[in-house]
Structure 1
Amino acid sequence: MATTVSFAVDFPVGRRVVSVSYERKGTGEPLVLLHGIGHHRQAWDPVLRILAAERDVIAVDLPGFGASPALPDGLAYDLRTMVPVLGSFFDTLGVVRPHVVGNSLGGLLALELGREKLVRTVTALSPAGFWTRSERRYAFGVLRAMRGAALSMPMPMIERLAKTSTGRTALTSTIYARPGRRSPASVVSETVALREATGFRQTLEAGLTVTFTDDVPDVPVSIAWGSKDRLLLRRQGVRAKHVIPGARLVRLPRCGHVPMNDDPAAVARVILDTSR
């Protein structure tokens, strides 16, 4: 069951109230999960039960995605906005320096939270920000095409495609190496999340100027990359290791860009090992 919390955040443009929807399960040290662009907190469902056996897991819908409302007018969907938003979210929940895990956009946010010393450990799954210009242009073109397809398809077509393995592959093979493992309901839900993501365009625009070039000192970091990531190519993981030399670089065989569905056990193991 999701909960939505509202809180005030101070920005250079003044104080603004931001609302964030999240789901919380389990007991233990707090562990925050951040999804990628166009997705929602349900991306973590394949690993949620495993993680909740050892951690107080908080799966977040980022502002403008999933069940979370858009950011207030005048706020950009960039790191300078999202880091204080997430820091204030932690404070509102009474969570002090949680472990944080992020995928894609969420991985970039997790690393920036680590750089700001707002979290205890970072696990980044195919994080954004370690691309070349051409790689970023390719990834953004794919994301725009996915968004356009989701917007153009009527709901009956989405539901019909989701009922078959071939249809689920057509809808989600860009981000999953094993799209047939997704349930029809999950595929419908995430396709709807992509088409209804109010923060999609602004987040993509903010990403045009983002390259992660700073180390994350004094915070344990694991960076994991799927061997079959078709969106952010796996060679970017080597670049990430060069930028963050103290990070542990983990390969996830037979996993795509969103690896939690392709191999839940392997992904949960990386997360729990890092947070220990």
Structure 2
Amino acid sequence: MAETVSFPVESSHGPRTVSLAYTRVGAGEPLLLLHGIGHHRQAWDPVIDILATERDVIAVDLPGFGESPALPDGLAYDLSTVVPALGSLCTALEIERPHVAGNSLGGLLALELGRERLVRSVTALAPAGFWTEAERRYAFSTLLAMRQGARLLPVPLIERLSRTVAGRAALTSTIYARPGRRSAEAVVAETLALRNAKGFAQTLTAGRQVLFKDDVPGLPVTLAWGTRDRLLLHRQGVRAKRVIPGARLVRLPGCGHVPMNDDPALVARVVLDTSR
């Protein structure tokens, strides 16, 4: 069951109140988990129990996704807004410099949190922002097609498709290399999360200008890429390593763009190794 926390964020029109939904389990040093665009915090469900054996795990629905409401008027869905908002979230939850792991958009946000020294370690799983312009256009057009499909399919058809391995593959094979491992309930929930994501369009628009060019010195950083990532191709990991030369670059064999479901044990080990 999600909890909600609210806190002020500065805008050009004065402070605005932002609310974020989150779940928190486990004990130990804090670990913040950030999902990708169009997804929700449940993307981390396959690994959260493993992580919670060693960490105080906080899985967050980003603004305008999952159960978190849209940002209030006057706030943009860009890095200059969302990164400080996540810092304010940590303050509101009395978390001092957590470890952070993020996937896709969440990986980009995790690296930005590291660059701002708001966290103590970063694990970025297929982070956005290391693309060429052609790769970005391909990824964005794929995301838009996924969003359109989720919005056009009637809910009863989504539920029917989710009951078979072939149907789950049709709905989620763009992000999972092993979609058959995802439960029917999870596939329905994440398809509806994509369908109903209030922040999707504005986040995608803000991402058109994103290119991560800065190092993240002085922190443990792991960049991990699935070898079967069909959205942000794994060659982008080599590019990311050039930008962040001190980072550890890890291959995730047989994993897709959202690797937590494809190999939970491996992903949990990568996150915990970085946070140690």
Residue in 2 that maps onto 1:177: 177
**In the alignment, is residue 228 of structure 1 matched against residue 250 of structure 2?**
no
- Give the AA of the match of 1:251: R
Partner of 2:103: 103
* Alignment map for 1:122-201 (pairs within 5 Å): 122-201=122-201
Q: CA deviation at 1:11?
A: 2.9
Instruction: Write out per-residue CA displacement over residues 231-256 of structure 1, whole angstroms, 9 at most, x where no aligned residue.
Output: 00000000000000000000000000
Structure 1 letter corresponding to 2:51 = L
Distance 1:98 1:11 in 2: 25
1:10 corresponds in structure 2 to 10
Q: CA deviation at 1:190?
A: 0.2
Cα displacement string for residues 140-160 of structure 1 (whole angstroms, at most 9, x for unaligned residues): 000000000000001000000
Tell me how far 1:75 sits from its aligned partner. Answer: 1.1
Distance 1:158 1:56 in 2: 34
Shift of 1:197: 0.1
The residue that corresponds to 1:56 in the other structure is: 56
Identical residues among aligned pairs (%) = 74
AA paired with 1:79?
Answer: L
In the TM superposition, what whole-angstrom CA distance separates every residue of 1:112-141 from its partner, at most 9, and x where no partner exists? 000000000000000000000000000000
1:28 aligns with 2:14: no
In structure 2, the partner of 1:205 is 205
State the TM-score, normalizing by the size of structure 2: 0.99
TM-score when scaled to structure 1? 0.99
SS of 1:33 mapped into structure 2: strand
Alpha-carbon distance, 1:95 to partner: 0.3
Aligned to 1:117: 117
Question: What SS class does the counterpart of residue 4 from structure 1 fall into?
Answer: strand
SS at the partner of 1:203?
A: helix
Give, as a single letter, the amino acid of the residue that structure 2 aligns with 1:252: L
CA contact (8 A) 2:103 2:127 kept: yes
8 Å contact from structure 2 (residues 259, 267) kept in 1: yes
Shift of 1:74: 1.9
User: What SS class does the counterpart of residue 20 from structure 2 fall into?
Assistant: strand
Cα RMSD of the aligned pairs, angstroms, is 0.5
Partner of 1:268: 268
Aligned partner of residue 266 in structure 1, secondary structure: helix
Note if contact 2:12-2:74 (Cα within 8 Å) is conserved in structure 1: no
Q: Secondary structure at the match of 2:10?
A: strand
Deviation, structure 1 residue 10: 1.9
Aligned mates of 1:192, 1:10 — CA distance in 2 = 31
Q: Which runs of 5+ in 2 are unaligned?
A: none
SS in 1 for 2:212: coil
Q: Mapping of 1:230-245 within 5 angstroms?
A: 230-245=230-245
C-alpha distance in structure 1 between counterparts of 2:183 and 2:247, whole Å: 34
Q: Which residues in structure 2 correspond to 1:40-55 (within 5 Å)?
A: 40-55=40-55
Please tell me the residue identity of whatever aligns with 1:141.
S
Structure 2: distance between partners of 1:238 and 1:14 = 41
- Who is 1:38 aligned against? 38
Q: Distance in 2 between matches of 1:88 and 1:236?
A: 31
1:201-236 deviations in whole A, cap 9, x for unaligned? 000000000000000011110000000000000000
Alignment of 1:243-258 (within 5 A): 243-258=243-258
Measured in 2, the distance between the counterparts of 1:65 and 1:256 equals 21
**In 1: Cα distance, 2:138 partner to 2:14 partner:** 36
After TM superposition, give the deviation of residue 193 of structure 1 in Å. Answer: 0.2
C-alpha displacement of 1:13 = 3.3
Q: Give me the whole-angstrom Cα distance separating, in 2, the residues matched to 1:13 and 1:133.
A: 33
